[in-house]
């Protein structure tokens, strides 16, 4: 496609999405849930075709030199498809926020004022690699009464096209127009530029991918963006931590999956337990081939570690690499976190309730955890059914963005012939 053809194509998608947004915005909960469940049935029936399409993407990815972490994000497995089905059905089971009215009150003038939850309208979602995002995003947009335009990465084009067929089948079964969920068919990068500069058709953009992609979209977009740049997540092991809990969390937060934004990138350990705790976890990290980069104190305890540079503290590895710093106390840990954290997710392991409360209050991140792995920072694990992404912004939505994050509120006013005096 030429640049002009891409622009015309995206304008057409935008116009159809705007028209479809009015249909889905007034759809009943029953209709929306029917579409979600029918989509789940269609995906379940098409599992062999989805795996076949995904294998084409994986094969192309290997030929193009994608690294292990990227291939992991790209892969669809039978278990992954089951997770997609569970997510769709869980979203269908969630309460529908649309139309909810709260805080109704009579004012001295006699009018009654409240707030009604409403859809945002049309949501553009730009993401890399993960084909499961197509289903997660579509399900949340649909349930929250929004139309959406989904632009996945070129590396997952076969998977996304196969999933799009299932989405259309689900919408058709519920009597909804296929334009409620549109998957961008072109892999031309100009499509992204067009999508983020159509305020007449698109109300909000949600980018999911690498820091470079998100920085570009945040810089160039002419519509609001719900985003986080990266996931530099910390786990602090306090001197009053249960060592078994601490080990389990430190291992899981790093090694459960590497190429995800809620994986731990820096481990902070209180100096009074470092000589006992670090060798204990280092043995497990070695078994899992995790490269350790540490401060000077860490190196005296773990001579096999590599010296950490200033750059390490602010790097999202998305790989089996972990930076470690030994700190004097919790204050030093909080100071480090607030200096280097991307405000995504940070955790503390401690049995001291008072310290835990301070950590929760003083660490300025979208998710702050006590005695739990950072890997739980996920819409599915938070009971949202799925998530459109994670926001580290402080306006509108923060943390995992589920149904409510894809809505806003408007004031509704009831009168009985009232006029302003």
Tens digits of residue pLDDT in 208-255: 877 888 899 999 999 999 988 789 999 999 999 999 999 999 999 999
Query: By the 8 A CB rule, do 312 and 323 touch?
Result: yes
Q: Judge if 90 and 199 occupy the same domain.
A: yes
Specify whether 213 is located in the same domain as 326: no
The helix/strand/coil state of 368 is strand
Residues 216 and 278 in one domain: no
Residue 420 lies in a domain: no
Phi, psi of 72 (to 5 degrees): -65, -40
**Residues contacting 219, CB < 8 A, separation 6+:** none
Task: Return the SS3 of 252.
Answer: helix
d(CA 95, CA 87): 14
Contacts of 178 by beta carbon, 8 Å cutoff, 6+ apart: 168, 171, 172
Range of the domain at 202: 3-226+388-414
* 385 pLDDT tier (thresholds 50, 70, 90): low
Q: What are the DSSP calls for 334-398, one per residue?
A: HHHHHHH--SSEEEEE-S-HHHHHHHHHH--SSEEEESS-GGG-STTTTTSSS-SEEE--SSS--
Give a yes or no: residue 221 inside a domain: yes
Q: Which pLDDT score, from 0 to 100, does residue 349 have?
A: 98
Number of domains in the chain: 2
Same domain, residue pair 137 and 16: yes
Q: What is the rounded CA–CA span in Å between residue 401 and residue 389?
A: 6
Q: What are phi and psi of 98, to 5 degrees?
A: -70, 130
Residue 52 lies in a domain: yes
**Which range is least confidently modeled, 17-21, 68-72, 250-254?**
68-72
Cα 202–205–211 angle (5° rounding)? 155
DSSP state of 212: H
- The reply to whether 80 and 113 lie within a common domain is yes
What is the pLDDT confidence band of residue 187, given thresholds at 50, 70 and 90? confident
Give SS3 for 232: coil
Closest CA to 159 of 224, 71, 89: 71
Q: With 80 as the cut, is the pLDDT of residue 384 above it?
A: no
Rounded Cα distance between 268 and 240, Å, is 14
- Looking at the fold, whether 197 and 239 belong to one and the same domain comes out as no
What CATH number corresponds to the domain at position 299? 3.40.309.10
Same structural domain, 350 and 321: yes
Per-residue model confidence as pLDDT tens digits over 78-133: 999 999 999 899 899 999 999 999 999 999 999 999 999 999 999 999 988 788 88
Prediction pTM value: 0.82
Strand 399-401, strand 389-391: pairing: antiparallel
* CATH code at position 135: 3.40.605.10
* Same domain, yes or no: 136 and 51: yes
Q: Which residues pair with 148 in a beta bridge?
A: 123, 181
Residues 146 and 199 in one domain: yes
């Amino acid at each position: 496609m030429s640049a002009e053809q891409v622009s015309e194509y995206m304008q057409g998608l935008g116009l159809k999405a705007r028209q479809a947004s009015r249909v889905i915005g007034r759809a009943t909960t029953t209709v929306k849930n029917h579409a979600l469940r029918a989509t789940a049935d269609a995906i379940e029936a098409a599992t062999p075709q989805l795996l076949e399409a995904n294998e084409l993407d994986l094969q192309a990815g290997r030929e193009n030199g994608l690294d292990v972490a990227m291939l992991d994000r790209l892969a669809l497995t039978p278990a992954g498809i089951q997770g997609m089905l569970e997510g769709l059905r869980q979203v269908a089971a969630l309460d529908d926020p649309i139309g909810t009215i709260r805080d109704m009150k009579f004012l001295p003038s006699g009018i009654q004022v409240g707030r009604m939850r409403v859809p945002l309208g049309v949501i553009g979602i730009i993401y890399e690699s993960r084909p499961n995002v197509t289903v997660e995003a579509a399900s949340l947009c649909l349930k929250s009464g929004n139309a959406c335009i989904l632009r996945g990465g070129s590396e997952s084009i076969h998977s996304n096209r196969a999933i799009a067929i299932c989405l259309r089948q689900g919408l058709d079964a519920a009597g909804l127009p296929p334009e409620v969920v549109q998957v961008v068919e072109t892999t031309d990068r100009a499509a992204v530029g067009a999508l983020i500069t159509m305020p007449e058709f698109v109300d909000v953009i949600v980018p999911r991918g690498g820091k470079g992609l998100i920085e570009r979209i945040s810089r160039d977009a002419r519509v609001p963006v719900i985003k986080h740049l990266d996931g530099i997540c910390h786990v602090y092991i306090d001197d009053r931590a249960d060592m078994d809990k601490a080990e389990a969390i430190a291992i899981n937060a790093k090694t459960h999956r590497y190429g995800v934004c809620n994986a731990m990138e820096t481990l902070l350990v209180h100096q009074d337990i470092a000589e006992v705790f670090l060798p204990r976890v280092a043995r497990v990290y070695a078994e899992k081939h995790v490269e350790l980069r540490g401060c000077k104190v860490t190196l005296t305890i773990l001579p096999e570690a590599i010296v950490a540079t200033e750059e390490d503290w602010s790097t999202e590895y998305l790989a089996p690499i972990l930076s470690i710093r030994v700190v004097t106390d919790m204050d030093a840990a909080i100071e480090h976190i607030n200096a280097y954290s991307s405000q995504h997710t940070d955790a503390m392991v401690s049995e001291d309730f008072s310290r835990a409360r301070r950590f929760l209050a003083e660490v300025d991140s979208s998710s702050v955890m006590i005695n739990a792995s950072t890997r739980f920072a996920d819409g599915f694990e938070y009971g949202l059914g799925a998530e459109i992404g994670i926001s580290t912004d402080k306006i509108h939505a923060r943390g995992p963005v589920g149904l409510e994050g894809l809505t806003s509120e408007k004031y509704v006013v009831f009168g009985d012939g009232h006029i302003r005096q």
